[in-house]
Structure 1
Amino acid sequence: MAIKTRGLGKGLDLLIPDTAFKEEKTKIIERVVEKPVEIKIKLSKIEPNREQPRKNFEEDSLLELAESIKQFGIIQPLVVQERDEYYEIIAGERRWRAAKIAGLKEVPVIIKKYSAQEIVEISLIENIQRENLNPIEEAFAFKKLISEFDLKQDEVAERVSKSRTAVTNSLRLLKLDERVQQMVIDDKISTGHARTLIVIEDNDIQYNLANRIFDEKLSVRETEKLIKNISTQKEEIKEKKVVENDFIYKNIEERITSIVGSRVTINQKKNNKGKIEIEYYSNDELERIFELLQSIEN
């Protein structure tokens, strides 16, 4: 399986198609670009938004954009917000990074003022519209929509024109060990492989299996068989352990019964705990057992 390195972040049209979210996107976009006043600001005065959902940027793509900027300049201005000593990027971090590579000293911007919620909205929409999100960032985008906007999974599914099952399956990827998530990002394993690994609770075993999938170039079907075999082996070991323990406890029951002279039952519980029950069938027998135990104490 070939490795294709790509950063977190693909673009918002895959997540929020025009048909599903067109009116809401239009309102937000109109809010951003309504009667824009474009000015130029030094690159050194601009900094990225720390809450930007996209953390990594594909180097080859940035280099291509930088070459385009050298030839044609920045066609669409960045959208920024004024902070105390700098301007924070709300939309256009990729253009800002490419402009730095291209050697520009200043870039065109539109300065706006937003609430914290509007910044989150615009950042998400800009990323989902303009980039192709990898599966993990798509999952984080869904999670952010749920946590930031208090949306339910079915509401997210409706907004992004996906089935609720697709959203649920995407969110489940976030249960994976972070090392496995990175392997999905790097295209070392597919989302199909990743979903089969979710049932493995131990993070180290999960990661080792992910590496085995990559090293042995296992298909999703082969991975499912592998995990099924591992689960079967675990059940067999568990059953074997139960049988072995039963034999030990039965032996102890018989030995205590022979000492007490009445039937003894050991009831097992979790964490190696349990209780011992001694049966008696008359008050005389109870008194006999009591005297026997008392004599052991003495």
Structure 2
Amino acid sequence: MNKKKPTGLGKGIEALFQDNTVDTSKENVVEIKVSQIKPNPYQPRHRFDQKALEDLALSIKNSGVFQPIIVRQPDPEVAAYQLLTGERRLRASKIAQQKLIPAIIRDVNEEQMMEIAVLENLQREDLTTLEEAEAYNMLMTRLDLTQAQVAQRLGKSRPYIANYLRILGLPPEVKEMLEDHKLSMGQARTLLSVNRKPELIKLARKAVAESMTVRQLEQAAAKINGQNGTKKKRVQRKSPFVRASEGQLQEKFGTPVSIVNSTRKKGKGKIEIEYLSTADLNRILALLDVDLD
């Protein structure tokens, strides 16, 4: 996998991306055919309010599009533009059967296009919890970044990014509950502490049915895991060297890493590297130069 030198989002991003709060009147706005615009392949947002789109379509039909969309230079192979920002306006224009739409054309590379797609939605808080987690995972896997690098480029803390990435390890049924806003981020994180998948799903259903709080979920999860206070698992104390080594490995692989010393034989142990999805596993294997093809 080719390494890409990180380029902080804060450096020059204003010249590449401007949202509705920024004046674009000084830029050249052109009318381009709606049929010539391809969707942004890195758009992290999957769900759009159909009623809101129809309302916007009616407004566009009556008054036009006031804020131009932003597109990437045409693809030379298909002579089509790629959308950078303005997904809702483009979708609504299609519903309104508009043939033309005002646009600003910018020259950006693939990496910048991906970052802009994620940043725009994060700034407007348009993403669901799961979409946000998938967006961070996409940046890590496509741009070969660590959690720390993603956090730095998006102005987040590394634990914040790590907590969202862990959500991707939930079973599909539980992810759907999260996507439908039946579970909160706090509840989802608590459910991840349940060791067995069938028990996790069962507890998630119960949490939704009984409107359990995070505290109630924590107690239920501890009981399921046999950690109800009557028996506590002995915690292995780690030396400063081991903790420092874990930190360096976590930075390298961009995921939680644990070094566990053997309790039976001195000098032996194991290194556990956590992965959150098949794509994340492939990313880690690539860092280890493991080729399964």
The normalised TM-score by structure 1 is: 0.62
Match in the other structure for 1:102: 96
- Which SS does the other structure have where 1:232 is aligned? coil
Match in the other structure for 1:179: 173
Aligned CA-pair RMSD: 3.1
> Which is higher, the Rg of structure 1 or of structure 2?
1
**1:201-260: CA deviation from partner (whole Å, max 9, x where unpaired):** 4444323321221112222112112222211299x9xxxxxxxxxxxxxxxxxxxxxxxx
Match in the other structure for 1:47: 38
Counterparts in 2 of 1:1-298, with a 5 A limit?
22-29=10-17, 36-80=27-71, 81-83=73-75, 84-232=78-226
Letter in 2 for 1:212: K
Match in the other structure for 2:272: none
Larger RCO, structure (CA 8 Å, separation 6 or more) = 1
- Which SS does the other structure have where 2:82 is aligned? strand
Relative to 1, partners in 2 of residues 1:73 and 1:129: Cα closer, same or farther, differing over 3 Å? farther
- Does the CA-based 8 Å contact 2:44-2:127 persist in structure 1? no
Shift of 1:186: 1.0
CA distance in structure 2 between the partners assigned to 1:63 and 1:204 by the alignment: 41
Letter in 2 for 1:152: T
CA distance in structure 2 between the partners assigned to 1:126 and 1:155 by the alignment: 18
- Does the CA-based 8 Å contact 2:69-2:85 persist in structure 1? yes
Letter in 1 for 2:16: I
The normalised TM-score by structure 2 is: 0.63
CA distance in structure 2 between the partners assigned to 1:50 and 1:149 by the alignment: 14
Shift of 1:143: 2.2
Relative to 1, partners in 2 of residues 1:203 and 1:86: Cα closer, same or farther, differing over 3 Å? farther
Letter in 1 for 2:158: R
Relative to 1, partners in 2 of residues 1:153 and 1:51: Cα closer, same or farther, differing over 3 Å? closer
**1:138-186: CA deviation from partner (whole Å, max 9, x where unpaired):** 2222223333444433343344333322222121111111221221121
Shift of 1:22: 4.8
- Which SS does the other structure have where 1:79 is aligned? strand
CA distance in structure 2 between the partners assigned to 1:157 and 1:233 by the alignment: 33
CA distance in structure 2 between the partners assigned to 1:222 and 1:183 by the alignment: 18
- Does the CA-based 8 Å contact 1:173-1:194 persist in structure 2? yes
Relative to 1, partners in 2 of residues 1:34 and 1:202: Cα closer, same or farther, differing over 3 Å? farther
CA distance in structure 1 between the partners assigned to 2:52 and 2:145 by the alignment: 33
Shift of 1:189: 0.8
CA distance in structure 2 between the partners assigned to 1:202 and 1:57 by the alignment: 34
Relative to 1, partners in 2 of residues 1:233 and 1:62: Cα closer, same or farther, differing over 3 Å? same
Identity of aligned residues (%): 38
Shift of 1:124: 2.1
Larger mean Cα displacement after TM superposition, 188-197 or 158-167: 158-167
Unaligned runs of 5+ in 2: 1-7, 19-23, 231-293
Match in the other structure for 1:243: none
Q: Alignment length, in residue pairs?
A: 215
